[in-house]
């Protein structure tokens, strides 16, 4: 039995989230069906990071096990079966059979995109937010977030998490062309956490006043009713997941095209 990692990307608005929900179209269900079809035996996958309905991924990981040798065009064949809104970018052989895409991940990075002027090509790819924002307050609140490691105020209720401790590695706002992005990286995230961080910061920056002090009060309250989770999922992207260097080795597909050659 060998373990393989799949690096995937998907358009979140095409799925009811990433995790299995019966027969509702989810990323995990699509992968399971495609793997089962290609390997001709029931083959479940296991995900690294759960994304909610509408949330996109430029990079998420799944692993699966099989005793069967993989076709040298496995990646090409798997993508041919998957829906257009989901693609496997890379295939890896795990360094050992106990490697786990969820528990071995060192960090995850998310990006939330907003834009201020109506743009049809950004519809459901970023959040339209045509309101005045105090950018200075956003930079201050993003810095404050890095000072904390307890985020109960930014976890939705009914979570399965046993702890609200998260180690924030990056938290900042940046201008990207005509868009404003919030980037946050941590060892782990709570349910709804990134959207809560974005919505709350925008609310404080839009209202003006002492936003940084208000954010500290919300963080210290450890009460999720104080945060704002109202921003839509389609503005959010799971951008990267990092692993130790010896976790896996890439398998180069023999048929997938490469225009960089």
Residues with active-site annotation: 52
Euclidean distance between CA atoms 75 and 257, whole angstroms: 11
Number of H helices, E strands in the chain: 5, 10
List the structure tokens of 21.
């929900």
Euclidean distance between CA atoms 239 and 261, whole angstroms: 25
Cβ neighbours, 10 Å, residue 207: 12
Handedness of CA 111, 114, 115, 118 (dihedral sign): positive
Q: Where are the strands (E) in the chain, listed by range? A: 2-10, 46-47, 56-66, 86-94, 107-115, 127-128, 168-176, 179-186, 236-242, 248-251
Euclidean distance between CA atoms 255 and 196, whole angstroms: 42
Give the orientation angle of helix 211-221 with respect to helix 193-207, to 10 degrees.
150
Euclidean distance between CA atoms 104 and 98, whole angstroms: 10
Q: Which residues contact 146 (CB under 8 A, 6 or more apart)?
A: 168, 170, 171
Cα distances from 179 to residues 69, 117, 154, in angstroms, run 45, 9, 24
Q: Where are the strands (E) in 187-235, listed by range? A: none
């Amino acid at each position: 039995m060998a373990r393989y990692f799949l690096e995937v990307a998907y358009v979140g608005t095409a799925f009811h989230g990433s995790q299995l929900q019966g027969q509702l179209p989810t990323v995990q269900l699509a992968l399971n069906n495609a793997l089962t079809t290609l390997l001709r035996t029931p083959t479940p996958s296991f995900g690294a990071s759960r994304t909610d309905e509408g949330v996109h991924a430029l990079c998420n990981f799944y692993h699966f096990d099989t005793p069967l040798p993989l076709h040298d065009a496995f990646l090409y064949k798997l993508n041919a079966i998957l829906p257009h809104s989901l693609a496997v970018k890379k295939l890896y052989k795990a360094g050992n059979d106990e490697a786990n895409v969820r528990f071995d991940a060192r960090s995850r990075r998310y990006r939330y995109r907003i834009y201020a002027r109506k743009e049809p090509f950004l519809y459901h790819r970023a959040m339209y937010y045509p309101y005045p924002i105090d950018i200075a307050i956003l930079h201050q609140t993003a810095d404050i977030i890095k000072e904390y490691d307890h985020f109960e105020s930014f976890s939705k209720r009914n979570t399965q998490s046993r702890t609200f401790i998260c180690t924030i590695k990056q938290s900042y706002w940046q201008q990207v062309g005509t868009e404003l992005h919030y980037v946050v990286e941590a060892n782990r995230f709570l349910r709804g956490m990134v959207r809560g961080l974005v919505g709350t910061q925008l609310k404080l920056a839009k209202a003006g006043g002492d936003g940084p002090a208000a954010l500290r009060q919300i963080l210290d309250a450890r009460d999720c009713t104080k945060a704002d989770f109202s921003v839509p999922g389609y503005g959010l992207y799971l951008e990267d997941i990092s692993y130790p260097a010896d976790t896996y080795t890439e398998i180069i597909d023999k048929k997938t095209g490469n225009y960089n050659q």
